[in-house]
Each structure stands twice: as C-alpha cells, then as structure tokens.
Structure 1
C-alpha cells in the first residue's frame, strides 16, 4: 500500500512531536473515499482492520509477570504493524492517569503506519468506567430515575469531551438493554430502565452527546441482554421470547438508536432460538447448543442488516468471554462471526507478551486462509473494511493534526475530571435519589450536636463515602457536629459486638449491595434465624435493620446497587435507592451516588427520582412491592408528580 505524506508530517513523526494521525492513501487534493482506499489495500491489511485486541497487561521479555500496559513499547508496536491492526481496546489497567493516557494513545497511534487506529474503551458512566482520573457519573439507571433527557445528553457530552481530549475515539456505550429481569447479574443498573421507550429516549440522547464530541458510539448488547439470569462472561444465556415480544421490547431501543445514527452495534453472546435456532456442538461438553447472536448469520445479517436495515459497523462483545471461549474454538469463533456479518472481532485472542503473539497470528492466518479457501467470501471482508474506513473518515480519525503532544496533555489535564464535570455529576446523582418509604417521619435525620451516627455497608470504600459526606455536611454547617462510627460487613455474621455498636448509636444508615436476591424465605417470611455466611449480603443488613428498629433507633436502608434488593427490607421504616455502589478510594469519590443519598438522608437535598423499574416482592411471588414510577416527596410522604 502506498501512502502520501507531507515532509512536515514525516519530520514530526520522526521526532515523535506530533499526534500521528497519518495522511490517508490519497493526495491532499482528493476527497477521502472508503471504497477507493480499500481498493488499494491487500487482503492482509483488510483482515487486520477487522481485529481489535487488548493489551490490558503486558509482560516484557525478561520480566517475570505481566503488569498493566501503561507505556508504549516496541513489542506492542511490532504487533500492531505486523498484523495491520485496525483498533485496540483500553481497560482501567491502561488508563491510570490523564497524562499517561494521552502519551499511551499517542504511542499506539504512532505504531499504525498507514491507517489510524480505532482506540476504544468502555466508559459507560456509573459502575462501568475505565478512566481512573475521569468523571464517573451516576450511571444509566440513575439517569432513568431522573427521567430527564438533558441528563443523558450531558452524560454523553462529558464523557465525550474527556475521551476526545485523551485521543480515544470510540466509546462502547451506551448500554440500551431493557433490564426487565430482576435477577440479571450483569446488566442491572447499567440499563436505563425496564421500559423500552424510556431506554430508547435516554439512550439516543447519550449517543447524541457523545457524537457531538466526535466520539463514535456503540449501542449494546444486540439483540438485548436485559432479560437474562446468566452472566455471559461465565456462561451462555438463553432468551426464549418469541419474535413479537422481542420486537416490542428488546429490539425497540436498538431500532431507535439506528434511526438516530449510532455508529456501531455491539453483539450479545446470547442464544435467541426464536431468531435463529441453528445448533452447534459445543467444544466444552459435546452438547448441542443454539448458535449465539454474535455468531449467527440469521441474527446479524438477516435481522440486523436486512430486516432492520442497519449498515453501520457491527462489533462483537469480547470473544474471550466464556459464553464463546468455552464453546467455540478461538479461530472458528472469529470465522463464524465474520460469516455472520460482523465487522470487528473484539479481543479475538489473548496477547499479553511477545511469546503469546502466536495466539493472534493463528486467528489472523486462520481468517486469511478461510478467505483463500472460499469459506469466507471476499465480499464480506471488503464490506467490513469499507465500513471501518468510512467510520474513521466520518469521525475525523483519518485527519492529520499538527497538535503537539505536550499541548494535548495540557488540554486533557484541563478537561478530564474537571470541576464543572464533577458539579454536573453531583447534580444528576442528587436528582436520581429515589425515596420509596418514609414511615414514622424517619427522614430527614436531624441529629443534635455530638450524637452518634453508625454507617454500615459491605465495603470500606462505601463506609468511607458515607462518613466523608457527613463530615462535608458538618464542615458546610448543613448539620450539627456528630460522631461517626463505621462498620463493614462483607462475609460477616451478626454478632453481639454489632449489637453494641447499634446500642451506642442514635442513627443507623445501612447500605445494601445485592447483585441478585437470595434471601432465605420460609412460608412467605424471610427467615432471620439463619446465620449462613454465604447469605451475608441479605442476612447481615436485615439483622442490623431488625435490631436497630427494635431499639427505636432512627434507621434508613440505602440500596446502593440494583434497587430490587429493597424487597429484602420490607419492614424498614425508611428506604431509598441511589443506583451506584462505588465509594471513596484513592482520594476521590468513585461515583456520586452514595454521597447524594447521604445528603438526602440529612435533608441537604430533596429526593426527585422515580423508580425506573418495578420491584417485585420476595415474600409474595408474583406481586409488586414498589411499582414502576414510584418516588416519594420527603416533606409530605406523597408520590412525586
């Protein structure tokens, strides 16, 4: 492949001063055209564009173990060059601080000699964030609780500004799965709602906010990961709904995202027999399984491409997830995905050292050989290469820039995690807090000077977040000076020592962190006599609730993750949901959600959120404990309008 490059750009690349977005395969006078560019590419170059590995960790020759890959090196550079890699995905291990991230991305782009890389990341906001110095934001379900489109747009805008300043050009976001299964272990608060229309409305606004900053977006996980009870990182879930139901619920947000011009669709490693009942003999156990969406031509080509008319990029979810890796061979999975109609194979082979390069080589050679043998039609490769190059042109990734890398670092330091972004995320989190119960005028807490508040949560970062927020309220003279005691309960049982801490307290705040409800229920009653350490997530906070209220302590339960766990605390006098569990670590709040809940508890802000999902009862199967849309006014205990 020939490339035209200005003398100035060549000199800049030689000294590593400029951000190395290369001049494309046309002269400066010509208009960039994907078809023309692809026509000059070799098969090897086209296949390389379709592979997107991660270098999450790296072991240099001579080192004993792999560590987070944070600084560009010649070994990784040689792999990018040799296989004509079209893109990479970054993880938290790669993006530890702002300046380091800018320089790493710059180095990765330098290694791609002809065509600039798609540099991608999962910066969803909320519980799935990678930037260790970025603004985390309250997350999708919190946005669903606010019901405000402007919050979704602002989320996309903030994330987009931060990613763009770092040189990252693709965000694998938003998650537009409709979370209608309370037992879903992997989506939960990553979803906006159980209502497909609310999911679509907020998802589209997030896309627009990201794209305004020229960040390519990827809606996930097609055809819908919301109604599963198995995590596809560890197993192969089945979604058994018929086509009519899928059209009305799961597929609805994806249709809206496509109409809004989403750049990519990310696939789900799920079985959808109603969409494609093709079977495959699992390499794991020899059992017959339904081909998952990621590898299904019936779903990717017939449904997504033809029926729904989508012509953007289709990218797989990570191919190292057990739903794929346990059941399909490494090379075969990539070949099946391409034949299904997928454009980019994400994380197709593990490569964390130069010694492991063969894993990628096997996949790369396997695809090329499959094209030569006719197993993969050349038309599939050409179509995918054109879509990828077209996106790089559309999002300005192909354009050369004369910006000095040091200037880019300086700009990123102004943008990433700045005060304006933090203030915006705090406001959104406060608007999301949802009050569901407030009997006996429990809230707001109005402690007297030197009274004691006991904060209880599974993990130290969560109790730190609660305690620090209380101290900030004291410092701002929003509440009287109080004493704060902390208690973490991960893997613990309720003891006499815990009772003593409660006895000494005047107020008790307990955070509930349950991914999937698993209480011990006998005859419609939760059995509180069971002290099974495996049930600590439900048993311990229930014991705290029961004992605190028996001693006439002011008690409030905060659901800090999936709000469905509130059903385990039906007897609590006061209950609220904040939709985010990350606390305070390494000198900063990892999410604004817990502080927002604590502010509400002490009357420093009013809860404005409404449930974006319905919460079913755990003691009366089939009944709804708290309905979709419920949210109480803290002043009069009436539903918000």
Structure 2
C-alpha cells in the first residue's frame, strides 16, 4: 500500500497544478470522461496519471472515491476504520471537529496519512461549508459578511477578496475544498434557506460574482463548489426539511437561474453541486434534480457541456429522501450523473448499494470509471498528491490574522446600503446620544462608543434610537419593537442585518441601513456608517417587493 502511494507521489510530482479556466466546450461531456472542463481538457500527463491510478484500484476503492463522509471526533485516529474500510473520496468538517487552528492542521495531516496508507493511497478531499456569513463552520478565523453583502458592493474584486482570504486560511488548516460559492439567484423574498447566501436577485450580477469567487479559490489552491444546480433561489421550502418545487417555464429558468451556472461552466469551475429541488420544466418525473438524469446528464453535461466533477448536496437532507430508501438514493444519484455523493446518512448502506449495483450491471463499470477519473484528475490538477502537510504553527499565525480581519472589515464597510434618511437624521451628530436595541445591540453599541458617540441606557435619554433587526419580515416581536421605538418624537434608525426585505413589514423609520449580514464586521460597518466614519456606498442587489426600492438603489451622504 505504501509503495503504491509512493509511486503516485512520484508521478504526480512531475505535474504542474493547473489553475487555468477556459471557455465552455462546444460538445457535451460524455461518460468516457475524456471531455474537458470548460474548453480546457486535463493535460496529457494528468489524464495519463489518472488512468494509471484508476487501473490500479479495486472495485471497492473506486466506489469509495464517490463518497464524502462526515469526520468523526477531533483526532485522525477516530476515522481510521472508516478510511480503511471505505476508502472515501473525501471527508467534510463540522464545528464539532474543530477547536483551534493547530488542532485542525494536525487532524488534516493525520487524515491524509491514513488515506495514504489505505488501499490505493488516494489523497482526500477535505472539505467544509465556509461560505462566510451565516454559513461558516470554522469557529475561528476571519469572518466576512454574507454573499448578498458582497453583491451590494457591485465589485467582483470583493468576491475575490473573500475567496482568496478564506482559501488562505483553509489551506493553512489542510482543508483543500470549500462548498462555495452559492450561484442561486434569490428572486423569492420568502426563500427560507438561501436569502443572504445569494449575491442577489439580478442574474447578471450573480453571474459576475460567482466565477470571480471560484477563480480566487482555485488560485489559492482550494477547490470551489458552485451550488445549487439548477437553482435554489426561487423556493419557499427549505430542502433540508422538505422537497421544494420550482414551478416555472423553461424560458424563465434560462433567463433567471441559468446565467450564473452557465458562466461557471464557461469558466471551467472545478465542481458543481446539485439541488434537491424538483424542476418540472426540465424533468416531469417528480424526482429531485440530484436524482434526475435529465437535469445532470441531460442539461448540465449534455447541453452546457460541463465535464467537471458533479457532487450531490447532502444526502441526509429530507429533500432527497422522499421516495426512495437511502441505498437506492445513492444508486440513483450515480445513474443521474453525479460523481460524488455527499454525506449519506448511512455510509455502509450507501456504499453497499452502489457496489452491488455495479456488480449486477445496473451501474455500468465504464460509468463508474468516468466518475472516478474525474475525481482523480481534479485531485491531480489541484496538487493533492504532492501537497505538503499543513504546518500547525503557520495555521496559528495565518488563520484570523490582523491582515485578514482588515480585509473582512473593508468589504463589510463597502457593502452597507442606506435606504432611508428622513430629515438627514444620519450621519449622527458629534455629540449625539444613542440608544441601541435589538439584534446586534452589544456590538453596534461598542463600535459607536469607540467612534465617540454616547450610548444611553434608555430611549428616553437618547437623541436617536437605533434598532437592530434580523428577519423582522416574519417576526411580529421585532416589528413591534420598531413600532414601539417610534412611538415618541425620537428619530428611529433601523439596521437590518438579514435580508433587506424587513423594510416592508416595519413602521417607517427615519433611517434604514441594510448590512445583509449579522457578523461582527457588518455590525461594526453599520456603526461606521451611522457616524459618517464611512460614507455609505452599497447598492441594493435585490428588488424589494411591495416597495419602490429596486436593484441599484442606495443613498449616500
């Protein structure tokens, strides 16, 4: 086993890790695995090395490369049996696995060592959901605002800054894959699962941000995963708990949801994730897109010409578990065209089902090889075979560095959008007394005091009341809090820290700021805009139904 690993390292060490992204292939990707990602095929050396590795793998090892399992515990040895038994293609981290940078770097090294000594010695994709904002699994490090805040800057460089900084921290921890960016176009204000995770409701804006972020991840050595194809931005059901149906025409889907994914394919992105949504205009079977050959092999591979790695969304989500048992779900995902199966609820059951389907001929062996070849080629292209171990000391010094925190603050400052300023209540005057309540009150108050404003203990003592909201559109208690604050003659300024749609459900305040995020840098940015330390420059990345506010709106001082 160790010898096979050594041979793999020798062969891969002669390769250069490609970060080039080409245009889309004119021809659809076939199951022979020979088509390109975008217009850039794997180099001959990469393709040949992948073929050599594939030829040396057992059937069980090949099937293992299709699976990405959750990590157990905080030490590599906690996962030894899993790796030795199933030879997974990847593992995914969650907060319970992560305590500090040194521990994570050590854990990553140990997991890769276990993989090197197991089976064919194929290195692991070590992944994480680190979109930033509300979806950030690392309990430490630089914390950027949500994607919608990035959309409000209107600057693809802000998306690249987020991705490049995040990737630098992940790489220091030995994490080589991030399940980001989100390419969904959030056109449904009631969307319970995407919302601020989307760059906005404008297909062109989202289509600009997605490849900028994906390319920055790749350049920093982290595999990006563009999600959730064919689009989760127009749903009112959370696919974690149910199965959303996106009931729109094919033409509307092509106009609204498709552009960001088309741009991702044309940019040659490494990996695309499917959505557990039903799209009747593409597939009338009622199956979620994750299990739909029409969606994956038909549209994504055949029509768009994508031949990169396709991963499912997590298979433990209820959106994909409505009509089949867990083993059958894994088999159907492979038959639909998926290359990696993320987080099956029972790895043993799913692995056995796929293995049996191959042995019985239900899954063609060439079909299996095509997926494994794509996975191996990507691991070779991104340098996983010759990657140096993570340095725990470097991880400690890099993750959450002052430079990275400054980058996050600068992006947050540029995102804040001023939508109301009646009577020029903002910026707050030099000697203004301010009472802060609601979401983020502690962080906003601290930032205001640092900027020389007096924060009072009650609204009656204040010249201005600042009310923080987060999801007030669906929260009567928050709505009542804003209404109560405005019952006196004291001006009220709302700082909306979720989606900007709160404005439709609250009593008209004198001032209204949208930060699109509740992370600390966004709350600090709100205080900096409230005081005039930062001139608001963010612009709405969404239309707000029921108002005259739309894309591009935003006031300044």
Task: Give the TM-score normalised by the residue count of structure 2.
Answer: 0.90
- How do residues 110-259 of structure 1 correspond to structure 2 at under 5 angstroms? 110-112=113-115, 113=117, 114-259=121-266
Please, which runs of 5 or more residues in structure 2 have no aligned partner? 16-44
Match of 1:433 in 2: 416
Mapped contact 1:3–1:26 kept (Cα < 8 A) = no
Find the residue that maps to 2:51 and give its secondary structure.
helix
User: Per-residue deviation at 1:426?
Assistant: 0.9
Q: Return the alpha-carbon distance in structure 2 between the equivalents of residues 28 and 3 of structure 1.
A: 15
Match of 2:403 in 1: 420
Q: Return the alpha-carbon distance in structure 1 between the equivalents of residues 512 and 209 of structure 2.
A: 26
Q: Deviations over 1:34-80 (max 9, x none)?
A: 1221112111000001011113xx5xxxxxxxxxx22222x411111
Q: Return the alpha-carbon distance in structure 1 between the equivalents of residues 92 and 5 of structure 2.
A: 27
User: Per-residue deviation at 1:85?
Assistant: 1.1
Is 1:51 matched with 2:38?
no
Mapped contact 1:3–1:25 kept (Cα < 8 A) = no
Match of 2:528 in 1: 599
Mapped contact 1:567–1:625 kept (Cα < 8 A) = no
User: Per-residue deviation at 1:239?
Assistant: 0.4
Select the residue among 501, 505, 510 that pairs with 1:573.
Answer: 510
Is 1:456 matched with 2:437?
yes
Q: Return the alpha-carbon distance in structure 1 between the equivalents of residues 160 and 387 of structure 2.
A: 29
User: Per-residue deviation at 1:104?
Assistant: 1.2
Q: Return the alpha-carbon distance in structure 2 between the equivalents of residues 158 and 243 of structure 1.
A: 37
Find the residue that maps to 2:272 and give its secondary structure.
strand
Mapped contact 2:300–2:306 kept (Cα < 8 A) = yes
User: Per-residue deviation at 1:447?
Assistant: 5.1
Match of 1:383 in 2: 370
Is 1:92 matched with 2:95?
yes
Q: Return the alpha-carbon distance in structure 1 between the equivalents of residues 468 and 50 of structure 2.
A: 52
Task: Give the TM-score normalised by the residue count of structure 1.
Answer: 0.78
Deviates more, 1:221-230 or 1:119-128: 119-128
Is 1:557 matched with 2:475?
no
Find the residue that maps to 2:206 and give its secondary structure.
helix
Match of 1:37 in 2: 53
Distance 1:506 1:295, change over 3 A: same
Mapped contact 1:514–1:538 kept (Cα < 8 A) = no
Find the residue that maps to 1:178 and give its secondary structure.
coil
Is 1:467 matched with 2:404?
no
- How do residues 561-640 of structure 1 correspond to structure 2 at under 5 angstroms? 561-569=498-506, 571-582=508-519, 589=520, 592-617=521-546, 624-634=547-557
Mapped contact 1:187–1:226 kept (Cα < 8 A) = yes
Match of 1:505 in 2: 462
Q: Return the alpha-carbon distance in structure 2 between the equivalents of residues 538 and 139 of structure 1.
A: 23
Distance 1:374 1:537, change over 3 A: farther
Q: Return the alpha-carbon distance in structure 2 between the equivalents of residues 325 and 34 of structure 1.
A: 33
Task: Output the aligned Cα RMSD.
Answer: 1.9
Is 1:536 matched with 2:477?
yes
Mapped contact 1:265–1:314 kept (Cα < 8 A) = yes
Distance 1:535 1:400, change over 3 A: closer
Mapped contact 1:431–1:607 kept (Cα < 8 A) = yes
Match of 2:325 in 1: 329
Find the residue that maps to 2:301 and give its secondary structure.
helix
Is 1:310 matched with 2:306?
yes
Q: Return the alpha-carbon distance in structure 1 between the equivalents of residues 394 and 12 of structure 2.
A: 30
Rg (Cα) greater in structure = 1
Match of 1:64 in 2: none
Distance 1:382 1:97, change over 3 A: same
Distance 1:466 1:40, change over 3 A: same
Q: Return the alpha-carbon distance in structure 2 between the equivalents of residues 507 and 228 of structure 1.
A: 38
Q: Return the alpha-carbon distance in structure 1 between the equivalents of residues 500 and 12 of structure 2.
A: 56
Distance 1:5 1:366, change over 3 A: closer
Mapped contact 2:495–2:515 kept (Cα < 8 A) = yes
Is 1:373 matched with 2:356?
no
Q: Return the alpha-carbon distance in structure 1 between the equivalents of residues 225 and 316 of structure 2.
A: 19
Select the residue among 334, 343, 360 that pairs with 1:338.
Answer: 334
Is 1:348 matched with 2:344?
yes
Is 1:299 matched with 2:295?
yes
Distance 1:29 1:625, change over 3 A: closer
User: Per-residue deviation at 1:553?
Assistant: 1.0
Is 1:72 matched with 2:76?
yes
Is 1:393 matched with 2:380?
yes
Match of 1:356 in 2: none
Q: Return the alpha-carbon distance in structure 2 between the equivalents of residues 445 and 455 of structure 1.
A: 13
User: Per-residue deviation at 1:164?
Assistant: 1.0
